Amino acid sequence: MERKEQLKKPFFAQDISKVFQTFETSEKGLTTAEAEKRIESYGHNQLNEEKKKSILVKFFEQFKDFMILVLIAAALISAFFGDVADAVIILAVVILNAVLGVFQEAKAEEAIDSLKKMSSPEARVRRDGSVVHIKSEELVPGDIVLLEAGDVVPADMRLFENASLKIEESALTGESVPVDKDIAVVTDENAGVGDRKNMAFMNSNVTYGRGEGVIVGTGMATEVGKIAEMLASSEETMTPLQRNLNRLGKYLTIAIIVIAVLMFIVGLTNGRDVVEMLLTSISLAVAAIPEGLPAIVTIILSLGTQKMAKRKALVRNLPAVETLGSTDIICSDKTGTLTMNQMTVEKVYANNQLQDAADVEVKDLPVMKVMMYANDTNISGEGELIGDPTETALIQYALDKDIDVQAALAKEPREAEVPFESERKLMSTIHKMTDGMYFIATKGAPDELLKRCTKIDINGELHTLTDEDRKAILDSNHDMATQALRVLAMAYKIVSAVPDEVNTNTVETELVYAGMVGMIDPEREEAKDSIAVAKTAGIRSIMITGDHKDTASAIAQRLGIIEEGETDAVITGAELDQIDDATFAKTVKKYSVYARVSPEHKVKIVKAWQKAGKIVAMTGDGVNDAPALNTADIGVGMGITGTEVSKGASDMVLADDNFATIVVAVEEGRKVFTNIQKAIQFLLSANLGEVLTLFIATLLGWSVLSPVHILWINLVTDTFPAIALGLEPGEKDIMQEKPRGKEATFFSNGVLPSIVYQGILEGTITLMVYWWATHNPVHAGNEELIHLDALTMTFATLGLLQLFHAFNVKSIEKSLFTVGLFKNKMFNLAIVTSGVLLGMVILIPGLNSWFNVTTLNMEQWLIVLGAAFSIIPIVEIIKFFIRKFSKKNNK
């Protein structure tokens, strides 16, 4: 009997005798010797762990980006032609970028590890005819396991004994309410996980009752194992940021090669020396390559992760920050993410009146007494409620109404009970009252309970239960059910003695109807607000849940995901199975809510949106979310309620499980993208200015800048301002804009035209200063000093031009005076620091001779400063006309 065979058989659709026969076992269990043999065949009951990458592997993975490879090539070429300083600086930037990437990844993994609270639970098993405790990893198919409230199910089991067993499976199915288990054969062989009532699944939690079952799947052969396998086989998607950087690197490389070759040919045509032109071409390549860009992008992303960490969002890999900013679709698990994962009393029907739970004064109502008495919730010494979520919700409601539950139960203790059974859907308890009489409290399904009631309590008076009363009760029950509330009815009677035989026939008859309550796992208020903000930002929220269709639809309406009556937007997993992938990719936009879905469905949904050209984020906390989290462009896991599988599959983990943090992350992601755009605009316009300066100078036969000048300008006046631009506060209307789309690049939204005209301006102004310096010499007659003065003025102008131009880049279209000159203190500090470092190489004796520059007089400095500053008013004027033109076109 091989594992593959056991995976194929729908054990839930087989009679238990056949299951015993398949695994050659019985209710008495296996022998120890047989179990040891089976471990050799099946392996241990544990999931395959993914091998962690070593620090060295992570370090080398940082060099995969095309831009990094281009930089390494530039460094090697520089070293080959003797420019060792250039090569060293470029390689230092590349290595710094790799170190930062590894550090962030390691830091994020450390944060994730700190969230882990994994334990190795034990299981109670029948071995050699006796009940023994063994480690769950030693379980094998055929073992008989005993379950009771508080246990974690250690493997997939086919149940054959059930005493009011309830199991909470939200981590696997997404359904918030514990499932009432049954041992009857499930006739539908295609039943989803949530409908296999005679099965218990690995890692789910027993909340009530007890049961026994035979292990039919261990380790990777469990439902959890299937998900882990899907997760391991899913492909990692490249983030928009990575696609953009790769595309940018390729464009730049082609442009650099074309320009360098063209300039080399032009130089030779003009009779210039071959070696000189090779060095000049290298200077141009150095000028064109934004060698600081990868490090700057990494730093901007790191700064974004720090801001998000303060808001409880732990980023596992840097590109995830920016990806959130480009998100079109958020596919979210319902339970615990959009809802509280905590049943709450919302409506109360008493005295023939349906009211909001908060408005009802229940202290002296019989309905409240029944809620407290017909209840198996335990209250710990710390005040924690332990038990079935439905029952704990009733006790919590009483506590919220300032009722001393423990005192009431102590005053009228339980004497006997009729436990809950799924067949009759009722439970009853008997309590001795202070006057010697006995109070019978019964709760259960409204329709079943009404059959056993003959009277109704209205304002403390007992009346015969009429057909009109029954209709009013059932109508209110229907109203609550259509709102996806889980309804429980309450009844009671007072007797003089406990029946000799305590059973449903002696206890649950001729009852007085007291009322009923409607409960729901309520939506998070912050989630509702976040969905509204996301909608304003053009982001569509999609709810995916294991709950029933009506419940899912009601919650989605309350959250604002769909409008009231928008039933066509809701689809079940079974209905989804009837749609092939190609058709679904065309119709996916119709649906906003998915109910009763499996892990495979979630992946199908994410892929369909991706085929529709959308960037998809997936939030979730369950094991069932992990494959979709991994498939999505960005996976967002929950740190507190999330399973380790889902956290491991996520790009980002919310340490506080707060859905609202996702909207903060989206806003931060958008801010990061626009700030990266600003850095790229600044760097490429500056580099274009350098390229044009060198290229046109070569055409004119001028020798204006050497590689060391270009590299120093790039290192000092490019890097610090570019990093500081990453700290720019987000523009106020950033969350009123639509997502930029999958095809958007760093050059979108007017960035490319800005780079071109601003680069031309920088090159033109620099060359004009060189021309002025050569035609208005301070040292007339000394060609060497004239050239040195002109070179210094060109060097100073180009460097200062870039520093002044950094102010222009604070916004693509908005005026500098609208954005604000001094809001970003780090930016101002960066400009001053860069200016000082630039001035040092000109003003400090010895250092200036190493850089082949000289000191300037007052007139020369005034020309340099005036020319450099001129780029601000010129760009302001151009922006003014761009805004005017944009408004005219938008009318």
Lowest mean pLDDT, pick from 214-228, 732-746, 830-844: 732-746
Are the beta carbons of 459 and 351 closer than 8 angstroms?
A: yes
pLDDT band at 366 (very low <50, low <70, confident <90, very high): very high
The pLDDT value recorded for residue 83 is: 61
Are the beta carbons of 742 and 243 closer than 8 angstroms?
A: no
Task: Give the model confidence (pLDDT) of 17-75 as tens digits.
Answer: 999 999 999 999 999 999 999 998 898 888 766 566 677 777 777 676 655 666 677 67
pLDDT band at 644 (very low <50, low <70, confident <90, very high): low
Average pLDDT for 523-532: 88
Task: Give the model confidence (pLDDT) of 470-515 as tens digits.
Answer: 999 999 998 998 887 889 999 999 999 999 999 999 999 999 999 9
pLDDT band at 456 (very low <50, low <70, confident <90, very high): very high
d(CA 381, CA 599): 39
The pLDDT value recorded for residue 35 is: 92
Angle ∠(427,432,437) on CA atoms, nearest 5: 110
CATH superfamily of 323-340+524-661: HAD superfamily/HAD-like (3.40.50.1000)
The pLDDT value recorded for residue 5 is: 42
Average pLDDT for 263-271: 78
Are the beta carbons of 477 and 487 closer than 8 angstroms?
A: yes
Average pLDDT for 94-117: 55
pLDDT band at 344 (very low <50, low <70, confident <90, very high): very high
Identify the residue whose tokens are 């010797």.
33
The whole-chain average pLDDT of the chain stands at: 83
Q: What is the DSSP string of 33-69?
A: HHHHHHHHHH--SSPPPPPPPPHHHHHHHTT-SHHHH
The pLDDT value recorded for residue 115 is: 37
Question: Does residue 321 have a pLDDT over 80?
Answer: no
Question: Does residue 11 have a pLDDT over 50?
Answer: yes
The pLDDT value recorded for residue 623 is: 67
The helix (H) or strand (E) run that includes residue 828 is helix 825-843
Grouping H, G, I as helix, E, B as strand and the rest as coil, residue 579 is coil
The pLDDT value recorded for residue 236 is: 53
The pLDDT value recorded for residue 324 is: 81
Question: Does residue 191 have a pLDDT over 90?
Answer: no
Tell which residue, 158, 171, 140, has the closest CA to residue 211. Answer: 158
d(CA 474, CA 450): 9
Average pLDDT for 399-426: 91
Grouping H, G, I as helix, E, B as strand and the rest as coil, residue 30 is strand
The pLDDT value recorded for residue 804 is: 95
784 against 28, higher pLDDT: 28
Angle ∠(634,325,652) on CA atoms, nearest 5: 35
d(CA 145, CA 155): 9
Tell which residue, 225, 187, 212, 202, has the closest CA to residue 10. Answer: 187
CATH topology of domain 241-312+664-890: Calcium-transporting ATPase, transmembrane domain (1.20.1110)
Average pLDDT for 285-297: 68
769 against 819, higher pLDDT: 769
| Positive or negative torsion for Cα 275, 280, 285, 290 | positive
Question: Does residue 3 have a pLDDT over 50?
Answer: no
d(CA 629, CA 654): 13
Are the beta carbons of 90 and 71 closer than 8 angstroms?
A: yes
pLDDT band at 9 (very low <50, low <70, confident <90, very high): low
CATH topology of domain 3-49+118-233: 2.70.150
In angstroms, the Cα distances linking 161 to 224, 425, 483 are 23, 18, 35
Angle ∠(768,769,773) on CA atoms, nearest 5: 120
The pLDDT value recorded for residue 233 is: 54
Average pLDDT for 325-336: 85
Tell me the H-state helices in 140-186: 170-173
Tell which residue, 674, 673, 755, 684, has the closest CA to residue 239. Answer: 673
In angstroms, the Cα distances linking 574 to 191, 607, 683 are 9, 18, 53
Which of left, alpha, beta for 857 (phi over 0: left; psi -120 to 50: alpha)?
beta
The pLDDT value recorded for residue 395 is: 95
**How much of the chain is in helix, strand and coil states, percent to nearest 5?**
55, 15, 30
In angstroms, the Cα distances linking 722 to 203, 293, 376, 459, 507 are 49, 9, 63, 73, 79
Name residue 100's beta-bridge partners: none
Please state, for a pLDDT cut of 70, what percent of the chain lies above it: 87
State which of 647-651, 671-675, 745-749 shows the largest mean pLDDT: 671-675
State which of 169-183, 286-300, 386-400 shows the largest mean pLDDT: 386-400
Identify the residue whose tokens are 């046109």.
696
Question: Does residue 687 have a pLDDT over 80?
Answer: yes
d(CA 738, CA 726): 21
- 3.40.1110.10, 1.10.760.10, 3.40.50.150, 3.40.50.720: which CATH number matches 344-520? 3.40.1110.10
State which of 541-555, 817-831, 858-872 shows the largest mean pLDDT: 858-872
Q: What is the DSSP string of 611-667?
A: HTT--EEEEE-SGGGHHHHHHSSEEEEESSS--HHHHHH-SEEETT--THHHHHHHH
Task: Give the model confidence (pLDDT) of 825-835 as tens digits.
Answer: 889 999 999 99
Joined tokens for residue 288: 């064109």
Average pLDDT for 81-91: 66
Average pLDDT for 261-276: 76
Half-sphere exposure for 165 (CA within 13 Å, toward CB): 27
The pLDDT value recorded for residue 66 is: 59
d(CA 246, CA 64): 10
Helical packing angle, 293-310 and 66-80, nearest 10°: 140
The helix (H) or strand (E) run that includes residue 492 is strand 486-495
380 against 533, higher pLDDT: 533
d(CA 390, CA 765): 75
State which of 247-261, 611-625, 672-686, 722-736 shows the largest mean pLDDT: 672-686
The pLDDT value recorded for residue 228 is: 67
Identify the residue whose tokens are 């304003």.
536
The pLDDT value recorded for residue 262 is: 82
Q: Which residues are catalytic?
A: 333
Tell which residue, 692, 337, 396, has the closest CA to residue 527. Answer: 337
The pLDDT value recorded for residue 51 is: 61
Domain boundaries in the chain? 3-49+118-233, 241-312+664-890, 323-340+524-661, 344-520
Grouping H, G, I as helix, E, B as strand and the rest as coil, residue 698 is helix
Identify the residue whose tokens are 């995976």.
7
Determine the longest span between alpha carbons in the chain, in angstroms: 127
pLDDT band at 466 (very low <50, low <70, confident <90, very high): very high
Task: Give the model confidence (pLDDT) of 144-182 as tens digits.
Answer: 999 987 788 999 999 999 888 888 887 677 666 788 898
pLDDT band at 589 (very low <50, low <70, confident <90, very high): very high
Report the 10 Å Cβ neighbour count for 308: 23
The helix (H) or strand (E) run that includes residue 309 is helix 293-310
Which residues of 169-236 form beta strands (DSSP E)? 179-180, 199-200, 205-217
pLDDT band at 364 (very low <50, low <70, confident <90, very high): confident
Pairing state between β 414-421 and 426-432: antiparallel
Question: Does residue 109 have a pLDDT over 90?
Answer: no
Grouping H, G, I as helix, E, B as strand and the rest as coil, residue 186 is coil
